[in-house]
């Protein structure tokens, strides 16, 4: 019998491949685009923020799906993160300072329809979405000035 030696090759675990960047469709609606930007930037991005980016011409509509605007995911990834943070901070400040429509109307003793009408007339500034509400003009008028739903 012959002596044979077996050599074990060192088994080196495969090097972990770097995580692949998630692929996104070419265009998304505001909600899904906000989710994408939140994932990419780590910021709390909402669909309302996408609307502001469009108003500020940082994003443009590239398509439409069932009447809903679609925006380029490539263009969204190129949005200035500082601009996005400013928009988010302004939205959060608005939500902190505002009340939902019904609560605002109850607080000042008006009917909600008066707030809605005054907002349409430009006499008060209303917010976006669920916090469509009062602003400082209603709650904190200038000294000697009163704001009423009838004037």
Domains in the chain: boundaries: 27-97, 101-139
What pLDDT was estimated at residue 145?
40
Residue 68: strand pairing partners: 65
Residue 69: strand pairing partners: 64
- Mind listing the pLDDT tens digit for each residue in 61-93? 999 999 999 999 999 999 999 999 999 999 888
- The answer on pLDDT for 130 being more than 60 is no
Report the mean per-residue pLDDT for the chain: 79
Q: Which residue has the higher pLDDT, 71 or 6?
A: 71
Mean pLDDT of 80-109: 88
Q: What percent of the chain has pLDDT over 90?
A: 43
- The answer on pLDDT for 143 being more than 70 is no
Q: What percent of the chain has pLDDT over 70?
A: 70
């Amino acid at each position: 019998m012959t002596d044979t030696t077996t050599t074990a090759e060192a088994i080196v675990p495969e090097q972990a491949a770097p995580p692949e960047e998630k692929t996104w469709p070419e265009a998304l609606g505001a909600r899904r685009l906000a989710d994408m930007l939140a994932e990419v930037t780590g910021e709390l991005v909402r669909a309302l923020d996408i609307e502001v980016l469009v108003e500020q011409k940082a994003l443009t509509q590239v398509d439409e799906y069932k009447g809903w605007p679609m925006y380029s995911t490539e263009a969204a990834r190129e949005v200035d993160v500082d601009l996005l943070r400013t928009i988010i901070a302004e939205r959060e400040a608005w939500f902190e300072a505002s009340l939902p429509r019904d609560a605002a109307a109850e607080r000042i003793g008006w009917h909600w329809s008066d707030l809605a009408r005054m907002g349409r007339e430009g006499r008060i500034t209303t917010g976006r979405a669920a916090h469509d509400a009062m602003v400082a003009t209603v709650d904190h008028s200038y000294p000697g000035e009163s704001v009423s739903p009838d004037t």
